[in-house]
């Protein structure tokens, strides 16, 4: 189970991720591109979208989404609004921190500028040159 404080900590631990001011809703972006956000649903087709507590959307590849939906429907789901969109809906009370951290990291890698991903990978692998340049 992941609470909102843990979600916030995990998301903001990623390089250059910021929490967007969304009022009661959560949104985490890397350079303006959303990696995770609060899930809003309609009670019926013409109703306005309302916040669903304990559920977030996390950006992912469509192939990853299909695999997650099939492998773990207790943790991941989809709805008509998200069908075909590269994001999966996550039940926070059914997922652990390590799995959510992995999903958020994948989302970050998809949306962060490639130069930033390359630089962070180089820093983590210790491949920076003495002058700070990266191969």
> Domain residue spans in the chain?
4-125
Provide the pLDDT for residue 131: 42
pTM of the model: 0.87
Confidence grade of residue 43 (pLDDT, cut at 50, 70, 90): confident
Over the chain, what is the mean pLDDT?
Answer: 90
Say yes or no to pLDDT of 20 above 50: yes
Say yes or no to pLDDT of 78 above 90: yes
- DSSP type of residue 14: S
**CATH number of this structure's domain 4-125:** 3.90.1150.30
């Amino acid at each position: 189970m992941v609470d909102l404080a843990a979600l916030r900590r995990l998301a903001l631990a990623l390089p250059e991720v910021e929490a967007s001011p969304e009022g009661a809703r959560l949104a985490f972006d890397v350079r303006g591109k959303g990696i995770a956000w609060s899930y809003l649903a309609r009670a019926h087709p013409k109703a306005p979208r309302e916040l669903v507590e304990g559920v977030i959307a996390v950006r992912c590849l469509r192939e990853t989404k299909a695999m997650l939906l099939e492998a773990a429907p207790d943790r991941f789901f989809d709805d008509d609004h998200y069908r075909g969109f590269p994001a999966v809906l996550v039940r926070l009370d059914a997922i652990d921190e390590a799995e959510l951290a992995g999903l958020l990291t994948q989302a970050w890698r998809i949306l962060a500028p490639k130069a930033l991903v390359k630089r962070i990978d180089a820093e983590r692998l210790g491949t920076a040159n003495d002058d700070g340049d990266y191969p």
